[in-house]
Amino acid sequence: MSGRVETLLRYKFYIVLLVGILSFVWGKEGDETVYPIDPDATPRPVAYATSTTGEIIIDGLLDEIEWEGAEVIDGFIQAKLQEGYPATEPTVVRLLYDDNHLYVGAVCYDSEPNKLVVESLVQDFETHNSDVFALTLDTFFDRSNAFMFLFNPMGAIKDGQVFNDSRNPNLAWEGIIDVKTFHHEEGWNIELAIPFSTLRFDPTLKEQKWGLNFLRRVRRKNEDSYWAPLPRRGRIHKMSKAGTLLGIESIESGRNLTIKPFASVGSSEGSSSVSNDGGADIKWGVTPSLTLDLTANTDFSQVEADRLQINLDRFPLFFPEKRDFFIENAGAFTFGDVTERNYRMGSSLREFTLFHSRRIGLEGGLPVPIMGGGRLTGRLKDYELGVLAIRTDDMTDNPAEDFNVFRLRRTMEGNSDIGAMVIQRQTPSLNDTYERSYGLDANLRFFRNLVVNSYLVGTAEPGVTEDNLAGRVSAGWRDGLWDISAFFKEVGDQFNPGVGFIKRKGIRHGYATLGAHPPVETKWFYKLNPYSEIHYVTDLNSMMVTRTGSAALDFHLRDGGTLGVKAVSRFEKVETPFSIGEDVTVDVGSYSFGEVIGFFRSNASLPFFTYVRLYNGTYFAGKKRTVSLNLAGRIGYRLTAQVSSSFNDIAYDNKNISANVYGIRVNYSHTTTIHSSAYVQYNSVSDEMVSNLRFNLIHSPLSDLFFVYLDRRYANSGESIDQAVVLKVTKLFNL
């Protein structure tokens, strides 16, 4: 018995010795993290901000002694290219705060600092084409909404708000922030001060608890890494997956009141005199989570001209909103064919949105003066509120109108929500003239990967009592491999959202898609995306009017480019003739046709890059070839240029049609506060040429001087359509 014990003890000694050797080789005590980690299963990290009373000079040097006492935040994990592995270029972050500011200092180490990629110096630069350091702050810790700040190595800023856990980013929001960067032989530093008055939070809490995440992008490697790990398809504003920030205590938010007056002088086509104008915007934080915006004599003269489009279909074109007053907090008013990030949903707000702000203050693409109005947006505990009231001026061809919008959404666990919306458009001088819209919607999430979106809406106007409803239910599943979605939608013949956009009425529309995202490891690409989808559309009598089936394969290149091919088969029943250009009409009838589409998007981190799409196939009873080409380049980070073109060659009814659009844009930024741009477009179908020259000086935080020149004319005759020149100055007063 004693011999057996002795033998066991001897084996135990050898086992312990072996474990010790392995522990020494693999890490002390054998508790080293095993990579790759699962970003979804990894516990969310916690960081602490350190209080300071010393002066922090924002110069990018990080040489104040206070930084040495702040907690080190590091250990960033890749989302791409190597999901779940440590970042190849380390990032070290520290956080300080005093009574007025949150200070962020980061050292972005880089083994090849001479190869940093800087896209431009403009505000709201294209972050996917640049090296980036970024952070998000969920100041109410609702795991859904946040402020977002992104910076490139030269200090250019892109900021915004995000709502509904990454579903509705709003990049028009701007906040006062002080930032400086500094370059050295080991990489680059960034130092910034965010005033607490820029943020919204609950000052009644003694200790703040915020959601937090950091992003580091090394563009030449196509590498994104996060402090709170995210999967490859994740984004920094996915706040349900963010870490937690603690340590900030006893801070105040200030009055949260800003006034931004403007003055402008200019002249336009047909005006024999110079016109002067002025107005103001006021922003007031009514509560820490509710913001009131007021506007008087609103002016949008600095807004860039719409991009010209050619319509080769029988349905109306969608033009996006560009006016800051309407873009800011736009997520609060989202209602319609919403899409889920990373899900292929088959439709979007470009197909249907119950509220489209371009219906206010624009008529036929031309401005209608806005006398004034207000907007109240924010949260009341678990409710998200949006209220809008606008009145336009009385014009000869357009009498004054009142626009009123009410939106209420109840958030629930799992980042789901249900809501309601009511809209009215009315001419005060005509009490019996109105257009109303109303509806209920739900956006639900289950089992982490399943999303369900639905709505039921109706419209009302004099004399319409039936066929004025629309409804949709959709579901999508997206995990690490599969992407599956489907929806059914029905729209009545008389459905008419007076302050919205609907592409197609009087239909029943079914859609389904099946796709996969298998990771691969090759020299050239890291992911494949094969998928197929089908649209099946009938009229309200169940007669098929459209069927579109497609199969596609996309390649995601390791350098950040993409390559793909797609085959499409279509059936269209045309019940009303429509024109292509001036001389060709697509007659009533049933048509079966198809095309093959190929595209290539090159690595945008290079000084010169391109995006090209090729279409070749039949087109109703004819043939169509399309080449869409975009070429872009930059000299350093100050001068960028982009040439865009779309060539459409159509053979139809023994006629050849060329429908082309050309554009060239040049931007020059002397610093992050001095910018100029020139944009020229030409549409061969309408023979219209649009020129837009713009100079912008940011003379103090969120305060601008604009000089804008706009010229629209017929290219062949030179006849002027519209011409305007405007000088505009704004000044923000933070009270």
The amino acid that residue 158 corresponds to is K
Spatial separation of the C-alpha atoms in residues 566 and 88, rounded to whole Å: 35
Question: Which DSSP symbol is given to 207?
Answer: B
In total, the chain counts a number of residues equal to: 735
What's the angle, vertex CA 55, arms to CA 54 and CA 56, rounded to 5?
115
As a whole number of Å, the end-to-end CA separation of the chain is 88
What's residue 252's pLDDT? 87
What's residue 273's pLDDT? 61
Spatial separation of the C-alpha atoms in residues 346 and 490, rounded to whole Å: 15
Question: Which DSSP symbol is given to 67?
Answer: H
Counting as low any pLDDT under 70, the low residues of the chain are: 1-31, 270-273, 414
Q: How many CA atoms lie within 13 A of 279 on its CB side?
A: 17
> Burial code of 194-221, b = ≥16 C-beta within 10 A, e = fewer?
bbbbbbbbeeeeeebbbbbbbbbbbbbb
Written as six digits, the tokens of 464 are: 């319409």
What's residue 28's pLDDT? 40
- Report the candidate in 152, 97, 149, 95 with the shortest Cα–Cα distance to residue 128: 152
What's residue 731's pLDDT? 95
Question: Which DSSP symbol is given to 482?
Answer: E
What's residue 362's pLDDT? 85
What's residue 29's pLDDT? 44
Spatial separation of the C-alpha atoms in residues 130 and 35, rounded to whole Å: 27
- CA–CA distance from 694 to each of 275, 308, 383, 709, 725 (Å)? 19, 18, 40, 7, 10
Spatial separation of the C-alpha atoms in residues 659 and 657, rounded to whole Å: 6
Q: Hunting for tokens 């380049």 — which residue is that?
A: 633
